A and B are shown apart, each in its own frame.
Chain A
Amino acid sequence: MPIVIALVLIAVGSVAFHLWNPWWLTPIASNWQYIDATIAITFWITGVVFTAVILFMAYCVFRFRHIPGRQAAYEPENKKLEWWLAIVTGVGVAAMLTPGLFVWSQFVTVPANATEFEAVGQQWNWAFRLPGKSGRLGTSDVKYISSDNPLGVNPNDPNGKDNIVIVGDDLHLPVGKPVKVLLRSVDVVHDFYVPEFRAKMDLMPGMVTRFWFTPIRTGEFEILCAGFCGVGHPQMRGKVVVDTESDYQTWLGKQQTFAQLSTPAK
């Protein structure tokens, strides 16, 4: 019977597709393996439920298809069964929510030893700012933006003078060190998204948003914008290079500070 076969094929085929398709989470490059683990738990629970419900449906359609003389049962409700099913569902939901909220509580708690950097988004490119030797980022405002101050760093804030400003170039990070990403947009909503890092967050104009992660392996990773920002949205790309500590220091030494950038070279 076609529909019974179709239901069985959908259940079995979906599981088979899941197990054998070539598309899975991009290999992780950050500390957020717990997110991957929660995804795996969720796949197990939802996978079992999906398969069970569809196969049971297929069985019912087959076993109780109309044949002359069949009469349906008359059973308006079954309180005991309904409560039991509700409780089992509640347990299943809790089994997904509990690890999920546990990991979320880690996500919202930035480690004390995290260093900061700022990613500034605008239509349609990325720029970055790192604290300099003073370790503090200067304040900023959109009203300070000009051709030699593209990030709008406050020129009157002494903390900003030694900030390292990266425009039109890659961001480097040292491997193994937790980092807090401060996100700032000068125009519309954007999103700083590196699939390998898993963590991401929107840039919301008018406020500074944040998230944290720890890169766990060296490599080059592409930044994509994941918040629709107009016609240039798919082309708004950047690159994060995760370096060993010594390579990172080498790179850092070559970068320009805000003071250098905003002072015309003599």
Chain B
Amino acid sequence: MSEVTADTVGSIGPAEVPEVELYHAHTWLTKYVFCQDAKVIAIQYSLTAMAIGLVALVLSWLMRLQLAFPGEFSLIQSDNYYQFITMHGMIMVIYLLTALFLGGFGNYLIPLMVGARDMAFPYVNMLSYWVYLLAVLILVAGFFAPGGPTGAGWTLYPPQAILSGTPGHEWGIILMMASLILFIIGFTMGGLNYVVTVLQCRTRGMTLMRLPLTVWGIFTATVMALLAFPALFVGCVMMTLDRMLGTSFFMPSIVELGQQLTYSGGSPILFQHLFWFFGHPEVYIVALPAFGIVSDLISTHARKNIFGYRMMVWAIVGIGALSFIVWAHHMYISGMDPYFGFFFATTTLIIAVPTAIKVYNWVLTLWRGDIHLTVPMLFALAFIVTFVNGGLTGLFLGNVVVDVPLSATLFVVAHFHMVMGVAPIMTVFGGIYHWYPKVTGRMLNETLGRVHFWVTFVGAYAIFFPMHYLGLLGVPRRYYELGDTAFIPASAATLNVFITVAALIVGAAQLVFLFNLFWSLSRGKESGPNPWRATTLEWQTPQTPPGHGNWGKDLPIVYRWPYDYSVPGAEQDFIPQNQPAFAKVG
């Protein structure tokens, strides 16, 4: 039976479980600090993630300064360069993007979009944020530890990660392991909340196939996280044991700078399998919420239902499932049995099909739409451009033999920044400009938003598109200086300078965004409850920002899917999900 018809009233089943009484906070500490309201937790996650993300952004400027002007800055040497790239990568992937999409957007939007009062386990949800914050603090402690943070690369490959040739091998690597382990514990606590809330706490009439794609994206990503993070967890535990107790999980017989070490029998490639079994789903854990959010941004701002909603849901679930059987495309030249290459290249290129379908459906939503070029829409369009670019370069790397010359070059760095850095960040910004009025009751400043958009979009493209060609040339990654390398022409150095200048300009533009974020809190135009005239439930709350318990006395009842935009014959160009019938015109 299709859910995707214009006016579905039908019969709404009774509530399956009685309403649970929420914890009502009375002290300042329990209202604003140890708060169990998912909306407050969401803001805590988001602000923490953005703060640590700014640290990672600054680190990227230092890296770019070294690459453009090698040797010019006495403060940037080989060991701290590697510490910068490691912390930059780990923070951006895990502590910013994963935390922001799941802990930030997930906590705020899931209960509201499914019509619940809060998450299923509010106390555990509250604890999850504090575990995350502790994980962040331990990570940051690395900067102050003797020897500094680890410089092993975000991939942390043994044996080098725990040996003396790598910076931070004394304390930094241990702090990194502890931080990751805590992060995973915190995210299991949060993740169980997101999954159970979507499955069990949907309001009456909210079937799975009436969920907004934002929820599908975050939900699927969370299921994947619960299945993938354990691989990283055990890898970290084993590496910590190798480092602290001298076990040999990942350590074969080694002569390190002339000294025979006492390790023997371990397998460094085992770590790579464990890491990438986590690591590949991880990049989709970052991408799927972005996919969901961008679908909702495009449909709302183009006043048109998302094209092919059912295929979009299947594509999200399919991509999530397939992402668990492609991991060794990160290991094509690791020395693993080369026959694995046939299998993983095939699965990797297969995953391109549902991904492409999603791209076509976004673009087909624009087709015959009524496109309002608001700031969220601009960022959504920027997402499509950068995601298509980054996704297509993935086809080069996924095709095993093409990966042979390109892996470990700047082609890979350009690819993953474009597809996982630039594209999802476009949806983060789009989502913030879109939902800020819900969270604060005010609009972000339009002019500042456009300035932020143009510099960020064009600038980020200018940083990473040309970088692919340095990789094609053969310029390796993780080189803090190229030195005198015969096959690299002088023009490559010029391009490095150009990329650095672009990066610094894009970095500066983020200050405009930060200013806007805080300035609009008190000076932004008042938005009213539904400034974008959107259909999804979060915009239909009785108060804006929503009060504790979200819905006042009565939970909403859902009668339709989330994409009743521009329904023929309807009075308005949108019908909220909780509106039973629409008055026909004419």
State whether A77 touches B308 (Cβ < 8 A).
Answer: yes
Any chain B CB within 8 A of the CB of A218? no
> How far is it, in angstroms, between the C-alpha of A191 and the C-alpha of B5 when the chains are bound?
57
State whether B267 touches A104 (Cβ < 8 A).
Answer: no
> How far is it, in angstroms, between the C-alpha of A195 and the C-alpha of B404 when the chains are bound?
10
State whether A74 touches B334 (Cβ < 8 A).
Answer: no
State whether B363 touches A56 (Cβ < 8 A).
Answer: yes
Any chain A CB within 8 A of the CB of B396? yes
Any chain B CB within 8 A of the CB of A148? no
Residues of B within 8 A of A72 (CB): 302-304, 368-370, 565-566, 573
State whether B482 touches A228 (Cβ < 8 A).
Answer: no
> How far is it, in angstroms, between the C-alpha of A203 and the C-alpha of B408 when the chains are bound?
13
Contact status of A206 and B268, CB under 8 A, knowing A60-B366, A101-B342, A193-B408? yes
- Could you tell me the distance in whole angstroms from the C-beta of A209 to the nearest C-beta in chain B? 3
State whether B389 touches A187 (Cβ < 8 A).
Answer: no
Residues of A within 8 A of B486 (CB): 222
> Which segment, of B219-227, B420-428, B489-497, B528-536, faces chain A?
B489-497
Q: Interface 1/0s, chain B 280-321, versus A by CB < 8 A?
A: 000000000000000000000011110111110000000000
State whether A75 touches B166 (Cβ < 8 A).
Answer: no
> How far is it, in angstroms, between the C-alpha of A176 and the C-alpha of B165 when the chains are bound?
38
Residues of B within 8 A of A78 (CB): 307-308
Contact status of A187 and B256, CB under 8 A, knowing A38-B401, A39-B402? yes
Closest to B250 in A: A206
State whether B342 touches A205 (Cβ < 8 A).
Answer: no
> How far is it, in angstroms, between the C-alpha of A105 and the C-alpha of B400 when the chains are bound?
10
Any chain B CB within 8 A of the CB of A231? yes
Closest to A43 in B: B396
Any chain B CB within 8 A of the CB of A114? no
Residues of A within 8 A of B400 (CB): 100-101, 104
- Could you tell me the distance in whole angstroms from the C-beta of B292 to the nearest C-beta in chain A? 17
Q: Interface 1/0s, chain A 87-126, versus B by CB < 8 A?
A: 0011001001100110111011000000000000011100
Interface residues in B320-378 by Cβ distance below 8 A to A read: 333-335, 338-339, 341-342, 345-346, 349-350, 352-353, 356-357, 359-361, 363-364, 366-373, 378
> Which segment, of A16-24, A163-171, A247-255, faces chain B?
A16-24
State whether A23 touches B476 (Cβ < 8 A).
Answer: no
State whether A93 touches B160 (Cβ < 8 A).
Answer: no
> How far is it, in angstroms, between the C-alpha of A100 and the C-alpha of B344 when the chains are bound?
12
- Could you tell me the distance in whole angstroms from the C-beta of B89 to the nearest C-beta in chain A? 12
Closest to B393 in A: A46
> Which segment, of B119-127, B134-142, B176-184, B467-475, faces chain A?
B467-475
Any chain A CB within 8 A of the CB of B230? no
Any chain A CB within 8 A of the CB of B96? no
Which single member of B370, B404, B492 contacts A71 (CB below 8 Å)?
A: B370
> How far is it, in angstroms, between the C-alpha of A6 and the C-alpha of B409 when the chains are bound?
29
Any chain B CB within 8 A of the CB of A259? no
Any chain A CB within 8 A of the CB of B485? yes
- Could you tell me the distance in whole angstroms from the C-beta of A145 to the nearest C-beta in chain B? 5
Any chain A CB within 8 A of the CB of B78? yes
State whether B253 touches A50 (Cβ < 8 A).
Answer: no
State whether A228 touches B371 (Cβ < 8 A).
Answer: no
Any chain B CB within 8 A of the CB of A261? no
Closest to B461 in A: A10
State whether A50 touches B388 (Cβ < 8 A).
Answer: yes
State whether A74 touches B338 (Cβ < 8 A).
Answer: no
Any chain A CB within 8 A of the CB of B233? no
> How far is it, in angstroms, between the C-alpha of A191 and the C-alpha of B163 when the chains are bound?
18
Q: Interface 1/0s, chain B 384-407, versus A by CB < 8 A?
A: 110011001101100111101101
Interface residues in A, total, Cβ within 8 A: 98
Q: Interface 1/0s, chain A 178-203, versus B by CB < 8 A?
A: 00000100111101010110111111
Any chain A CB within 8 A of the CB of B74? no
Any chain A CB within 8 A of the CB of B237? no
Residues of A within 8 A of B108 (CB): none
Closest to B70 in A: A234
State whether A61 touches B335 (Cβ < 8 A).
Answer: no
> How far is it, in angstroms, between the C-alpha of A104 and the C-alpha of B398 when the chains are bound?
12
Which single member of B152, B335, B360, B478 contacts A202 (CB below 8 Å)?
A: B335
State whether B388 touches A53 (Cβ < 8 A).
Answer: yes
State whether B489 touches A22 (Cβ < 8 A).
Answer: yes
Q: Interface 1/0s, chain B 235-267, versus A by CB < 8 A?
A: 000000000000000001111110010000011
Any chain A CB within 8 A of the CB of B28? no
- Could you tell me the distance in whole angstroms from the C-beta of A104 to the nearest C-beta in chain B? 4
Closest to A226 in B: B408
- Could you tell me the distance in whole angstroms from the C-beta of A211 to the nearest C-beta in chain B? 8
Which A residues have a C-beta under 8 Å from some C-beta of B? 1-3, 6-7, 10, 14, 17, 21-26, 34-35, 38-39, 42, 45-46, 49-50, 53-54, 56-57, 60-61, 64-66, 70-78, 81-82, 85-86, 89-90, 93, 96-97, 100-101, 103-105, 107-108, 122-124, 141-143, 145, 152, 183, 186-189, 191, 193, 195-196, 198-207, 209, 222, 224-235
Q: What would 27 A/B residue contacts be, using CB atoms closer than 8 Å?
A: A1-B373, A14-B389, A24-B469, A38-B401, A46-B395, A54-B385, A66-B371, A66-B372, A72-B573, A74-B565, A76-B563, A85-B360, A86-B356, A86-B357, A188-B160, A193-B408, A195-B473, A195-B487, A196-B487, A199-B404, A201-B335, A226-B407, A230-B166, A231-B78, A231-B82, A233-B479, A235-B483
17 A-B pairs besides A60-B367, A60-B371, A187-B254 with CB distance below 8 A are: A7-B385, A17-B465, A26-B487, A66-B370, A74-B304, A82-B357, A97-B399, A104-B338, A124-B165, A145-B255, A191-B333, A193-B476, A206-B252, A229-B160, A230-B160, A231-B79, A233-B479
Which 5 pairs from chain A and chain B are nearest by CB?
A: A206-B252, A230-B165, A195-B474, A209-B335, A100-B399
